[in-house]
Amino acid sequence: MLFITSNISIADTEIDFTAVRSQGPGGQNVNKVSSAIHLRFDVRASSMPEIYQERLLKLSDHRITKEGVVVIKAQRYRSQDKNRAEALQRLQDLLQSVTHNPKVRRATKPTRGSQLRRMDKKTQHGKKKTMRSTPNLD
């Protein structure tokens, strides 16, 4: 079980792991051992609440395909178990980011007093600048 919040969890059967060969340096170990992990998670077929599914699919994340499948490739470590744990952690972070409710913004207006203070300050600043200019001796 992958726990997203205290009341939302994902069953292990909904997550598909595939071991693939890792890229980059690593000597002969890279050519022999499939230590990288491809994690696949189908959002539409999951048991997540529908509101979170919609939020997840609306994200403009390169890890989410057009079909609604989250694909994460983990290949940082030489161990397959560590890469699997990292892929699960990244999936958990992605799913947790969707569960936070965005704060509703309420439009506000400046108070009358703050508007008057701002205008007084502008007037004072303008007077200060006119005092700096050379006097007109006409």
Note down pLDDT in tens along the chain; length 138 residues: 777 776 777 777 778 888 887 776 666 766 677 778 888 888 877 788 888 888 888 887 788 888 888 888 888 888 888 888 999 888 888 888 888 887 899 999 999 999 999 999 999 999 999 889 888 776
What is the predicted pLDDT for the residue at 26?
64
Q: Is residue 104 part of a domain?
A: no
How many domains are contained in the chain? 1
Q: Is residue 66 part of a domain?
A: yes
What is the predicted pLDDT for the residue at 107?
93
Q: Is residue 44 part of a domain?
A: yes
Q: Is residue 54 part of a domain?
A: yes
What is the predicted pLDDT for the residue at 117?
97
Q: How far is CA 104 from CA 2, 7, 51, 52, 59, in A?
A: 29, 23, 17, 17, 19
Q: Name 53's Cβ contacts closer than 8 Å, sequence gap at least 6.
A: 43, 44, 46
What is the predicted pLDDT for the residue at 25?
65
Q: Which residue has the tokens 């004072």?
A: 124
Domain coverage including residue 65: 2-99
pTM of the predicted structure, to 2 decimals = 0.65
What is the predicted pLDDT for the residue at 24?
66
Q: Is residue 108 part of a domain?
A: no
Q: How many CB atoms lie within 10 A of CB 74?
A: 23
End-to-end CA distance of the chain: 88
CATH number at residue 76: 3.30.160.20
